[in-house]
A and B are shown apart, each in its own frame.
Chain A
């Protein structure tokens, strides 16, 4: 990890597709007010994949659900703003949001089995989505459905369009889900653990497909995963979350080669792929605290070997996009 730090690629000038500022999600409970997402902000440009990585309970899916308007009550957006192509969407009515989903925001979930209706032919599921958002004749819709299946790599799409979901393998089903998410040509795709249920060889295929479609269509993709290996293969930028906050954000190559936040460094070091040949793995002591019992100061300080007195008192500094990549009082410099 001593390679020179390459400067982050210059962001394209046009406005980002998705822009999140200071987003906070709250869940009121009987005992306390929990904040699964706490002051998170990032942008995703057209044709860019932002990987959001974190362990279970870090708030990565909750942030995705806040963007797509799918927070389960009593969880609610308590602060900040979300802009899609410059327009605020966090204040839209549920009805407006419902129309936006599918049209402007496509979604891909972990389990392709539960994202498809098992009783409806996949062609009908695709044309239903197209009719809901686009003005098409039935014949046009069907032709577009075949084209959509071909685009995601379903062999003999024209003859398989009348198949039911159970007639496809897991990997093929996830391709159908991707075709469905892209049917109305959304500007933003939220992919929540899209490859976690798949075998490694199929995972590589699905990642390659997502990357190709993102480039070709100029979509913004939010790729939510617990697997830093998927981020390395797929994403352009990465946002690391810990206990509801953004710990570090930057270009993937920079963050992987020279992590600044001690949590990012620990996460990378504890992956078995980083200690080939070593007898023991590097480990981060302890576990992420539950949201109801966050320590004062920086939430990571009880597990952090660099923690100083200030970390126990003051919450970590907010990430300002321009300077410092890591929300940390004692960031690692240049690489460690």
Chain B
């Protein structure tokens, strides 16, 4: 039984010009479909990685899962219930550890807030959590500006843990950190997952980080899931040409001077999606069908892929 079950999730944003501009230009309303008919499941005590470039909808999915946004269509079931508003067993860690804390609050109050807001017992809570994330109990009386970026991200993790969550949505949790500090924070997150039986939705643009953290990975392109598989399968035998391109261009430390051919083109605008498969303008193997029909996400081996030309069955 999966812990998180997302089916046919869709979220549209109204990006219309003001009504007078529309009247003068005789144009209707326009919408941006940030998340388009996405379904996936997360098993308990596993990490599900979502990767994609800007405009892929990955952060929107994270916000939908914690209830910061409401879906336009589709359902989200977490822990057997589809009521996700106001639950304290779902928490979130944000990218920017400088913007996600009130600079005038003491660390003690920041960490205890998710419990205090529901009237829970908070005495000693922050001190214990600080030690659990590798800081000291004495830090509870300090303010956010007294900490470095990596320490602040530890505090953000402590805050996420305070309400004893089962699911934590991590949106680019280490993208603002230096690489040596990133390793410390990722290791801490792995340890806490094992100790506390947590389930993570891990959102990142960085393929190498997702490869390290995730058990299963979904690849997003312009709001649609284009491929999903076990992490090792995905990296060893990517089926979608977009996944293959992402893996090819990721910098490798074992091949200095190796010159990958840079990919063609850039991501299209999500307001003005190309017809057919959204990746077709950049795809090296496109055929006529790709320009006409949007490929459905279909089963392929132990994973799923949305490509007309991906090999079926278990082949790589």
Q: Is A110 an interface residue (CB 8 A)?
A: no
Residues on the B chain within 8 Å of A272, using CB: 182-183, 186, 206, 208-209, 211-212
Are A205's CB and B262's CB within 8 A?
A: yes
Cross-interface CB contact of A199 among B205, B209, B212, cutoff 8 Å: B205
CB distance from A47 to the nearest CB of B (A): 15
Cross-interface CB contact of B253 among A172, A274, A278, cutoff 8 Å: A274
> Would A287 and B181 be within 8 Å (CB), given that A201-B266, A230-B251, A273-B251 are in contact?
yes
Are B257's CB and A229's CB within 8 A?
A: no
Q: Is B245 an interface residue (CB 8 A)?
A: yes
In the complex, residue of chain A having the shortest beta-carbon distance to the beta carbon of B269: A169
Cross-interface CB contact of B251 among A202, A229, A270, cutoff 8 Å: A229
Q: Mark A162-205, 1 if CB is under 8 A from B, else 0.
A: 00000001111000000000000000000000000001111111
Cross-interface CB contact of B205 among A171, A200, A267, cutoff 8 Å: A200
Q: Is B135 an interface residue (CB 8 A)?
A: no
Q: Is A232 an interface residue (CB 8 A)?
A: yes
Are A280's CB and B182's CB within 8 A?
A: no
A278 to B211, CA, bound (A): 11
Are A201's CB and B256's CB within 8 A?
A: no
Are B250's CB and A232's CB within 8 A?
A: no
Q: Is B263 an interface residue (CB 8 A)?
A: yes
A211 to B263, CA, bound (A): 16
Q: Is A233 an interface residue (CB 8 A)?
A: yes
Are A280's CB and B187's CB within 8 A?
A: yes
Residues on the A chain within 8 Å of B54, using CB: 170, 199
> Would A202 and B266 be within 8 Å (CB), given that A229-B250, A281-B212 are in contact?
yes
Cross-interface CB contact of B211 among A230, A268, A276, A280, cutoff 8 Å: A276
> Would A227 and B187 be within 8 Å (CB), given that A169-B266, A272-B209, A287-B148 are in contact?
no
Are A281's CB and B183's CB within 8 A?
A: yes
Q: Is A91 an interface residue (CB 8 A)?
A: no
Residues on the B chain within 8 Å of A207, using CB: 262
Q: Is A282 an interface residue (CB 8 A)?
A: yes
CB distance from A26 to the nearest CB of B (A): 23
CB distance from B297 to the nearest CB of A (A): 22
Q: Is B150 an interface residue (CB 8 A)?
A: yes
Most chain A CB inside 10 Å of its own CB: which residue of B149, B179, B205, B256 = B179
Q: Is A279 an interface residue (CB 8 A)?
A: yes
CB distance from A154 to the nearest CB of B (A): 12
Are B252's CB and A204's CB within 8 A?
A: no
Main SS class of interface, A: helix
Q: Is A275 an interface residue (CB 8 A)?
A: yes
Are B253's CB and A282's CB within 8 A?
A: no
Are B251's CB and A232's CB within 8 A?
A: yes
Are A199's CB and B267's CB within 8 A?
A: yes
The residues in B between 175 and 194 inclusive whose CB is less than 8 angstroms from any CB of A are 178-184, 186-187, 190
CB distance from A216 to the nearest CB of B (A): 15
Interface size for chain B: under 10, 10 to 19, 20 to 34, or 35 or more residues? 35 or more
Are A252's CB and B183's CB within 8 A?
A: no
Residues on the B chain within 8 Å of A283, using CB: 180, 183-184, 187
In the complex, residue of chain B having the shortest beta-carbon distance to the beta carbon of A233: B251
Are A200's CB and B53's CB within 8 A?
A: yes
Q: Is A228 an interface residue (CB 8 A)?
A: yes
Q: How many residues of A contact B (CB 8 A)?
A: 47
A267 to B253, CA, bound (A): 11
Residues on the B chain within 8 Å of A133, using CB: none
Are B266's CB and A55's CB within 8 A?
A: no
Q: Mark A242-270, 1 if CB is under 8 A from B, else 0.
A: 00000000001100110000000011101
In the complex, residue of chain A having the shortest beta-carbon distance to the beta carbon of B261: A208
Cross-interface CB contact of A270 among B151, B182, B207, B267, cutoff 8 Å: B182
CB distance from B192 to the nearest CB of A (A): 13
Residues on the A chain within 8 Å of B181, using CB: 55, 287
Are B266's CB and A171's CB within 8 A?
A: yes
Residues on the B chain within 8 Å of A256, using CB: 253, 256
Q: Mark A148-161, 1 if CB is under 8 A from B, else 0.
A: 00000000000000
Q: Is B69 an interface residue (CB 8 A)?
A: no
CB distance from B287 to the nearest CB of A (A): 22
The residues in B between 262 and 298 inclusive whose CB is less than 8 angstroms from any CB of A are 262-263, 266-267
A312 to B187, CA, bound (A): 29
CB distance from A178 to the nearest CB of B (A): 14
Q: Is B119 an interface residue (CB 8 A)?
A: no
Residues on the B chain within 8 Å of A267, using CB: 179-180
In the complex, residue of chain A having the shortest beta-carbon distance to the beta carbon of B51: A200
> Would A200 and B246 be within 8 Å (CB), given that A56-B178, A233-B251 are in contact?
yes
A55 to B180, CA, bound (A): 8
Are A280's CB and B190's CB within 8 A?
A: yes
A267 to B257, CA, bound (A): 19
Residues on the B chain within 8 Å of A202, using CB: 266
CB distance from A9 to the nearest CB of B (A): 11
> Would A252 and B180 be within 8 Å (CB), given that A201-B246, A229-B250, A275-B212 are in contact?
no
Q: Is B18 an interface residue (CB 8 A)?
A: no
Q: Is B260 an interface residue (CB 8 A)?
A: yes
Residues on the B chain within 8 Å of A268, using CB: 253
CB distance from B128 to the nearest CB of A (A): 23
Q: Is B118 an interface residue (CB 8 A)?
A: no
16 A–B pairs (Cβ distance < 8 Å), ordered by A: A199-B205, A199-B267, A200-B205, A202-B266, A204-B249, A227-B251, A233-B259, A268-B253, A270-B182, A271-B208, A272-B209, A272-B211, A272-B212, A276-B212, A284-B183, A287-B181
**Which 5 pairs from chain A and chain B are nearest by CB?**
A229-B251, A270-B183, A55-B178, A199-B53, A283-B183
Where the two chains meet, the residues of B that have a C-beta atom closer than 8 Å to any C-beta of A are 53-54, 148-151, 178-184, 186-187, 190, 205-209, 211-212, 245-246, 249-253, 255-260, 262-263, 266-267
Where the two chains meet, the residues of A that have a C-beta atom closer than 8 Å to any C-beta of B are 55-56, 169-172, 199-205, 207-208, 211, 226-230, 232-233, 252-253, 256-257, 266-268, 270-276, 278-285, 287-288
